[in-house]
Amino acid sequence: MVYTMMQVCKEADLTYQALKFYCNEGLIPNVKRDKNNRRIFDERNLKWIKDLVCLKRCGMSIQEMKEYLDLCLRGESTIPQRKEMLAQKQEALRENIRQLEESVSYIDWKQSFYDDVLSGWKPYVSNLIS
């Protein structure tokens, strides 16, 4: 199957500008062009673009994505380096999740406190008002 830029954008949940930027930055190797010189993509391109979207969501910078791509293109021997890159991002994501869970717990506690105040079960106490 062959995909146009717009079809790839829809499939990968990516803006046209982002896809064009990724192409111009060399992040999508082996992109072909049709007879009108428009980029066309195959299934392998689409899979890689979806991978790029995920790597971006994982917090990889454009430079890190370029380094990761370079390692991928160098083949199987670079798998340990790729694993290390991904492990670092995974640890950062886990830390972000921990912080988000703490934030959700705080909001849960605060909502419960407000419910108790509004129902008359607890007096209102504020650290901001004497």
pLDDT of 130 higher than 90: no
Q: What are the tokens at 12? A: 């990968």
pLDDT more than 70, % of the chain: 100
pTM for the full predicted model: 0.83
Report the SS3 class of residue 58.
coil
Is 124 inside any structural domain?
no
| Mean pLDDT for all residues in the chain | 96
Q: Which domain holds residue 31?
A: 5-119
Do the Cβ atoms of 78 and 37 come closer than 8 Å?
A: no
pLDDT more than 90, % of the chain: 95
Is 128 inside any structural domain?
no
Is 125 inside any structural domain?
no
Find the length of the chain.
Answer: 130
> Angle at the Cα of 95 (from 94 to 99), degrees rounded to 5?
115
pLDDT at 62: 97
Do the Cβ atoms of 41 and 78 come closer than 8 Å?
A: no
Number of compact structural domains in the chain? 1
CATH code, 114: 1.10.1660.10
